Amino acid sequence: MVLEDLDRDLVLAFLDELEEKRNNTVATRNARLAAIRSFFHHVAAADPASFGVAQRVLTIPTKRAHIEVTRHLTNAEVNAIIAAPDQRTPRGRRDRAFLLFLARTGARVSEAISVNADDLQLERPRSQVLLHGKGRRDRVVPVPQDLARALAALLRERGIANHEPRPIFVGAHNERLTRFGATHIVRRAAAKAVAIRPDLAEKPISPHIFRHSLAMKLLQSAWIF
């Protein structure tokens, strides 16, 4: 095979085969195309006589990947999940407070389970929480009154003062809640809430969906105004 055989049609056929026969993703297809382009950039610079062949290959565009629609919950679905835990038990009260925290702050699950009592400021008029984000990027997030009341009640129940560096959300053995435990809380509440909101059975429920749902709520509020 000579360079002239590596024309645009052959390269396109190779890229199509990656997806259709080898079941590679669009990202993999684009990565292979980037490597081919790099080669033909070298060809165009090193061999002016092959510039035309190289130019035709270099005009092959990258393929746009299908962007999955971001899932979110309606306000009614969020409220149904928050209301699902049994408030007569300590576990139920913890679960409700944790669900409220996710829904009202939009925190990532890693941020929510990392919160300590001394990260909270629950006194009016500026109730807020310090979230410890990725890459040591901390941020302060307002805490609405329903969440502030739930957190204050949880701290009283566990005998924790606001200034103590102790975790707010703990598991059965009084250790900091894990990511697995947080996911279990959300899914357990969602499974119970299905009786009230059947549409929840069709949605992928995870702690992160509360972040998407809050973002959508804020976006819709911006549209209104």
Average pLDDT, integer, range 103-122 = 95
Strand-by-strand arrangement of the 128-132 sheet: 120-121, 128-132, 138-142
Residue reference for tokens 């829904």: 103
8 A C-beta contact, residue 170 and residue 148: no
| pLDDT above 60: residue 80 | yes
Q: Which residues are catalytic?
A: 108, 134, 208, 211
**Residue 63, domain member (yes or no):** no
pLDDT value at position 49?
78
Q: How far is it, in rounded angstroms, from Cα 55 to Cα 41?
A: 8
More confident position, 143 or 54: 143
Q: Which two tokens stand for residue 55?
A: 């130019």
Average pLDDT, integer, range 71-93 = 94
Q: Which residues contact 115 (CB under 8 A, 6 or more apart)?
A: 101, 107, 129, 130, 131, 132, 167, 168, 169
More confident position, 25 or 193: 193
Task: Please count the structural domains in the chain.
Answer: 2
| pLDDT above 70: residue 29 | yes
8 A C-beta contact, residue 44 and residue 184: no
More confident position, 180 or 23: 180
> Is the domain of 92 the same as that of 190?
yes
pLDDT value at position 3?
63
pLDDT value at position 225?
43
More confident position, 117 or 126: 117
**Residue 70, domain member (yes or no):** no
Label residue 224 by pLDDT band (50, 70, 90). Answer: very low
* Beta bridge partner(s), residue 129: 120, 141
Other CB atoms within a 10 A radius of the CB of residue 28 amount to 14
**pTM for this structure?**
0.68
Angle between helices 90-105 and 75-83 (to 10 degrees): 160
> Is the domain of 49 the same as that of 83?
no
**Residue 178, domain member (yes or no):** yes
**Residue 125, domain member (yes or no):** yes
pLDDT value at position 222?
57
> Is the domain of 151 the same as that of 181?
yes
Q: How far is it, in rounded angstroms, from Cα 185 to Cα 179?
A: 10
8 A C-beta contact, residue 210 and residue 78: yes
> Is the domain of 135 the same as that of 88?
yes
Give residue 126's domain range: 75-224
| pLDDT above 60: residue 1 | no
pLDDT value at position 4?
63
pLDDT value at position 26?
86
Q: Which residues contact 92 (CB under 8 A, 6 or more apart)?
A: 85, 86
